[in-house]
């Protein structure tokens, strides 16, 4: 039998890989010292351009998608039989926590939105589509990435619960509770953005050029 604890630890380490930081280093900068200072895809796009941002988003997205998909496969194949719901929740949380508190960046990291989206796609595709629609709608009207992310995070557990109880895409109760926790974590990580939104000082999305000196 596969060690549940070992798989969870590996998931955390895998999700800890700070792709925004890595991409920045490959371009000769520390992304944490440019733009908003965040290692996520939004700041990478602002500072290094759309292709760097897209690669960053994809890699962060896969950090949530791949471990959760594999965990679900292990459960369905019978390799993980005891407390499978708790195991799945632990893997999801390990992925999100790995991005937010990376072991490679002294337990600092990003806001977890891309990684959470990847995990959510594995758990509940319909909820993912709903959250994506909310994100794009809010962003297109406001041009605030932070506001769009917060709105999508708030919709996340609501959509998952509705689809689960409607029988469209059932999920264990423990997973639904975890999604609520992830929402609170995402909002908490955006607390500085929320304060700036309240004060009217939050920056709308624009690409900024880094210094070439």
Q: How far, in Å, CA of 32 to CA of 123, rounded?
A: 31
- Residue pair 31/47 in contact (Cβ under 8 Å)? The answer is yes
123: buried, middle or exposed (CB in 10 Å: 19+, 13-18, 0-12)? buried
Cβ(185)–Cβ(96) below 8 Å: yes
Q: What is the Cα–Cα distance from 162 to 127, expressed in whole angstroms?
A: 9
Task: Check: pTM over 0.75? Answer yes or no.
Answer: yes
| 31, 110 contact by CB (below 8 A) | no
Q: Nearest CA to 124 among 156, 86, 80?
A: 156
Residue given tokens 């939050």 in the structure block: 202
Query: Which residues face 108 on adjacent strands?
Result: 102
Specify the length of the chain in residues: 213
pLDDT at 81: 67
Residues of the chain with pLDDT under 70: 1-2, 81-82, 206-213
pLDDT of residue 209: 53
- SS3 annotation, 25-45: HHCCCCHHHCCCCCCCHHHHH
What's the rounded Cα separation, in Å, for the pair 124 and 1? 27
Query: If we measure between CA atoms, which residue out of 140, 114, 130, 208 comes closest to residue 168?
Result: 130
**For residue 213, what pLDDT is reported?**
37
Which of 105, 126, 128 minimizes the C-alpha distance to 116?
A: 128
3-state class of 140 per DSSP?
Answer: helix
What's the pLDDT tens digit per position in 109-131?
Answer: 999 999 999 999 999 999 999 99
């Amino acid at each position: 039998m596969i060690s549940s604890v070992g798989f969870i630890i590996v998931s955390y380490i895998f999700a800890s890989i700070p792709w925004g930081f890595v991409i920045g280093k490959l371009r000769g900068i520390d992304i944490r010292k440019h733009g908003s200072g965040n290692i996520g895809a939004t700041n990478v796009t602002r500072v290094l351009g759309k292709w760097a941002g897209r690669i960053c988003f994809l890699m962060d997205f896969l950090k949530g998608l791949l471990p959760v998909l594999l965990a679900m496969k292990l459960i369905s194949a019978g390799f993980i039989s005891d407390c499978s719901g708790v195991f799945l929740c632990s893997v999801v949380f390990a992925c999100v926590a790995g991005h937010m508190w990376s072991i490679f960046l002294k337990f600092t990291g990003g806001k977890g939105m891309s990684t959470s989206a990847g995990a959510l796609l594995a758990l509940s595709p319909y909820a993912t589509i709903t959250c994506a629609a909310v994100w794009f709608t809010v962003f297109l009207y406001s041009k605030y990435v932070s506001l769009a992310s917060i709105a999508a995070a708030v919709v996340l557990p609501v959509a998952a619960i509705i689809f689960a109880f409607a029988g469209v895409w059932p999920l264990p109760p423990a997973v639904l509770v975890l999604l609520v926790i992830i929402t609170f974590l995402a909002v908490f990580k955006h607390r500085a953005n929320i304060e700036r939104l309240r004060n009217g000082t939050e920056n709308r999305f624009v690409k900024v050029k880094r210094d070439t000196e």
